[in-house]
Amino acid sequence: MKRLERAFYARETLTVARQLLGQRLLRLLDGQRLGGRIVEVEAYIGQEDRACHAARGHTPRTAVMFGPPGTAYVYFIYGLYHCLNVVTEAEGFPAAVLIRALEPLEGLPLMRRRRPGRADHELANGPGKLCRALGIGRELNGLDLVSSDVLFIEEDAPIADEAVQTTPRVGVRGDAPALAAPWRFLIADSPFLSRR
DNA sequence: CTCTCGATGCGCT
DNA sequence: GCGCATCGAGAGA
């Protein structure tokens, strides 16, 4: 399948988030292809968005969000988990899309081994879980998804507007317009979402 | 099924 | 020190 190119990521973050639904995230691990269909994402957009890590400016941690579109932004959270984002918009504007859930399609046996005791629909139905299932850690932070053979996104069947639902972002609250905005995108009838 | 709560590292105040 | 873009175990219904 064809890989998503830089121009795909170099657009408005809400457009990229919406269009990422249905695309196939892939990780090459131990010579195997692991991954699946993206079924849930969230947009984090610029310094005005107080939930965006880059809201407080350019720091060592947020540097990659200011970098070129198509870059992986991986961060460590709660002392235990990693979350994977894709950097969007023009270089210099800090924004990204968080990948929140996958429908596992490739490399199921290895993913099951990495997530013992979990049913298939729980292998990657959360941002921390999918990183665990695919073996994504901070060593992949700053990786270029457009040129990497280790982590990349391939084009798959587009999702119709009728199947897409939006909600406020998980774990984000507040009265500011950006905080209340429906910037979580999901495939409504998917059994692989992080929450119903 | 739902809810509550603790684990745990690190970036920033 | 504090607070996380989280998860899973355990309790109750």
Nearest nt (C1') from A57 Cα? B12
User: What is the Cα–Cα distance from A194 to A170, expressed in whole angstroms?
Assistant: 10
Task: Round to whole Å and give the CA distance between A11 and A80.
Answer: 32
User: What's the pTM value of the predicted model, to 2 decimals?
Assistant: 0.96
**CA(A101)–C1'(C7) in Å?**
14
Beta bridge partners of A85: A73, A98
Q: Is the pLDDT of residue A137 over 90?
A: yes
Nearest nucleotide, CA A61 to C1' = B11
Neighbours of A51 (CB within 10 A): 18
C1’ C5 / CA A176, Å = 17
Q: pLDDT tens digit string along A40-69?
A: 999 999 999 999 999 999 999 999 999 999
Confidence of residue A175 (pLDDT cuts 50, 70, 90): confident
What residues approach strand B to within 7 A at the CB? A 56, 59-62, 76-80, 196
**Residue A115 C-beta-side C-alpha neighbours within 13 Å:** 24
pLDDT, one tens digit per residue, over A29-44 is 999 999 999 999 999 9
Mean pLDDT of the A174-187 span: 94
Which nucleotide's C1' is closest to A116 (Cα)?
Answer: C8
Footprint of strand C on the protein (CB under 7 A): A 42, 44, 51-53, 73, 77-81, 83, 85, 96, 98, 115, 117-118, 122, 126-130, 132, 169-172, 194
Largest CA-CA distance found in chain A, in angstroms, rounded: 47
| A196 pLDDT higher than 80 | no
Decide: A45 and A183 in contact? Cβ < 8 Å: yes
